[in-house]
Amino acid sequence: MAASTTAPDSPVRRKPRATQRGRQLEPAALAEIETLLAGRARARDHLIEHLHAIQDACGHLALRHLRALAQWMNLPMAAVYETATFYAHFDIVREGEIPPPAVTIRVCDSLSCELAGARTLHAALAAELDPAQIRVVRAPCMGRCDSAPVVEVGHRHLGHATPAAVSTLLHGAGDLHPEPIVWPRLDAYRSEGGYALLQSVRDGSVSIERLSQVLQDAGLRGLGGAGFPTFKKWAFVRAEPAPRYMVINADEGEPGTFKDRHYLEQAPHRFLEGALISAAAVDAAALYIYLRDEYPGLHAVLRTAIAEVESAGLAAPGYIVLRRGAGAYICGEESALIESLEGKPGKPRHRPPFVAQKGLFDRPTLVNNVETVYWIPLLWQRGADWFASQGRNGRKGLRSFSVSGRVNKPGVHLAPAGITLQELVDEYCGGMAEGHRLLAYLPGGASGGILPASKADIPLDFDTLQPHGCFIGSAAVVVISDQDDLRAVAKNLMAFFADESCGQCTPCRVGTEKMLGLLERDEWDAGQLQRLAQVMQDASICGLGQAAPNPVTSLLRFFPAELAEQGISLRPAAANTESAS
């Protein structure tokens, strides 16, 4: 037998691939993207804006367009896909899938809307409408809790919605754009002294130190939830090297919160003046406003207001950058918001460093809430003593309470800091709704815990609720009555947190789902729930996972008798031997 002339270890040569691995770029898709985005920036931080532009034009995001966008922006397809799939408002259509219908109806399923019948409304709409023509989906809080239940038809919101009202809108004029907002324009605001403080800060007649002292004397704190003193935050960022940035967090997504929307609709120029003053205080290279996508009407308001400011020479063109969120509650956390501004999935960063040191584009960044900066011009005009003299029960200042649930007059109520829930309901909300008796209330939205009616006399303010396992947060007060199911309340809140978890850390990602499953049982193991809550509070990266157990731990602490009346038996913690895992 003749010996082989080929060495046994010689490699087998393969023909080189004619194309790259994976799906190939379609030249037609690239041409469409180039036409749609002509003249726009290709930097990574514009990615989410470009995704919005594609979806607005096409009604969805096809993979062919995502591949073309990746090519156009010189980004990996994985980066574009990861970002697009992270946000709830982007509809990804893969090969072979049918694009969503032209019209989508979103039914808010937040606690306030569920109390007002959103579940029944969703079922009725889903049964009546042709799914091939109109898509009906659940959606988290839309920031309109005072008119619950709320639906969004296209981009138009309906408060106190009914199937008949939705049908009338669909079969009427067909205008599914946001309802126009009437707001005071620049001339009206300036006629009342608007932007005078900004000019004084810029020309040096009012120093930053003097203005900071006014804010300190007034006791102005961050009103997005954390309550950090505003003057201290200014000082921390000013102490860092330039360039610095200013970011406004207008992504209020806490269920029950809608005060920022109220102030932006009522006084957008006062907000802009406060934001520009804050930017001047830290000598910011640019001012970014991150506005939640659930407020499409306000996007139009702010675009117009910013244009007025630029035309009047109060801000250089392009200095104020308005960015659009995409449906992610986690982006209310300041580092997640900054990740989103940079065109990435909104996952919170590990700290330190804090965003005051390394924030947007890795530079020192001042992050303030809408309402916080809204107050700055007013405090200067009326004086620190005017603000600090407000308050009850030993507290100082005013608080904007977003009140919803079982009251006669839900809405944004400006009331003294330290007011009690009972006083707030009686004096500002017209009392409890007819036929309802106060059972419980959420003092700080979904994450702020739940207190019983017996504690309706606690002053509502920063630092007053912590001894009771709760906090005021953004002052989103949801009132619950004796006709409401406490387990349904807890499940609604925990389902929200499970849906909104970014998934980055195991304690939050797994813990929220695990706790939701435990709430389904007719017997609640108090020990297991408490241990699971402790793990989430101790080990979650950000406030979402840390605060998610608060409604459940509140029910275990304050409502054992009420739970028993509603058919939930509690296994005492001392008798438990099962692991929380």
* pLDDT reported for residue 19: 57
* pLDDT reported for residue 581: 36
Say yes or no to pLDDT of 567 above 50: yes
In terms of DSSP bridges, do strands 411-416 and 398-405 run parallel, antiparallel, or are they unpaired? antiparallel
Least-confidence region, from 1-10, 392-401, 442-451: 1-10
Please tell me the distance from the alpha carbon of residue 347 to that of residue 354, in angstroms, as a whole number. Answer: 15
Say yes or no to pLDDT of 229 above 70: yes
* pLDDT reported for residue 6: 52
Q: How many CB atoms lie within 10 A of CB 393?
A: 16
* pLDDT reported for residue 9: 62
CB 251 within 8 A of CB 291: yes
Residue in the structure block whose two tokens are 């920031």: 143
Please tell me the distance from the alpha carbon of residue 474 to that of residue 443, in angstroms, as a whole number. Answer: 9
Please tell me the distance from the alpha carbon of residue 563 to that of residue 519, in angstroms, as a whole number. Answer: 12
* pLDDT reported for residue 184: 96
* pLDDT reported for residue 1: 47
- What average pLDDT does the segment 151-168 reach? 95
Task: For residue 487, report the phi and psi dihedrals to the nearest 5 degrees.
Answer: -65, -40
Query: Sorting pLDDT into bands at 50, 70 and 90, what band is 20?
Result: low
Which long-range contacts (C-beta less than 8 Å, at least 24 apart) are formed by 383-390? 383/214, 384/214, 384/215, 384/216, 384/217, 384/218, 385/217, 387/218, 387/219, 387/220, 388/217, 388/218, 388/219, 390/416, 390/417
Give the mean pLDDT of the chain: 94
Query: Sorting pLDDT into bands at 50, 70 and 90, what band is 23?
Result: confident
User: Would you state the torsion angle of the CA atoms of residues 548, 554, 557, 560, taken in this order, to the nearest 10 degrees?
Assistant: -110
Rounded to 10 deg, the angle between the 259-266 and 370-382 helix axes is 50
pLDDT tens, residue by residue, 275-324:
999 999 999 999 999 999 999 999 999 999 999 999 999 999 999 999 99
pLDDT tens, residue by residue, 34-71:
999 999 999 999 999 999 999 999 999 999 999 999 99
Please tell me the distance from the alpha carbon of residue 488 to that of residue 119, in angstroms, as a whole number. Answer: 12
Please tell me the distance from the alpha carbon of residue 401 to that of residue 261, in angstroms, as a whole number. Answer: 13
Say yes or no to pLDDT of 5 above 60: no
Rg of the Cα atoms in the chain: 26
* pLDDT reported for residue 580: 37
